Amino acid sequence: MLIAAKLLIGLIAALHLHFLRCIAIAGIYGAATAARRILFVQAVPALLVLALLWLGWAGCDSMPLLLRAARG
C-alpha cells in the first residue's frame, strides 16, 4: 500500500511540474507573439514557482516531499 501511495504522489508531482512547464512555455510564446504583458502575468509566476520547487522551497511541508517522490 505504501508503494502505491508513493507512486501516486510521484505521479501527481510530475503532473504538476509538467503543467507548470507548459504554462511557462505558453507564457513566453504568448509574450513573443501577442502581448508582452502575458510574460509578467503568466510566465514569470510559473517560472518563479518552478525555481522555488527546484530549490526545494514551496511554502509548505508536502511539496518538497512531492518533488523527492517525482525525482525518484
Return per-residue pLDDT of the chain as tens, 72 residues: 677 777 777 778 788 888 999 999 999 999 999 999 999 999 999 999 888 888 776 555 555 555 555 555
Please, are residues 3 and 19 in contact by the beta-carbon 8 Å criterion? no
- Which residue range is the domain that position 29 belongs to? 2-71
Q: Using CB atoms within 10 A of its CB, is residue 24 exposed (0-12), middle (13-18) or buried (19+)?
A: buried
Dist. CA 42–CA 29, nearest whole Å: 11
DSSP label of 40:
I
Domain count, the chain: 1
- Cα angle for residues 65, 45, 39 (degrees, 5° grid): 145
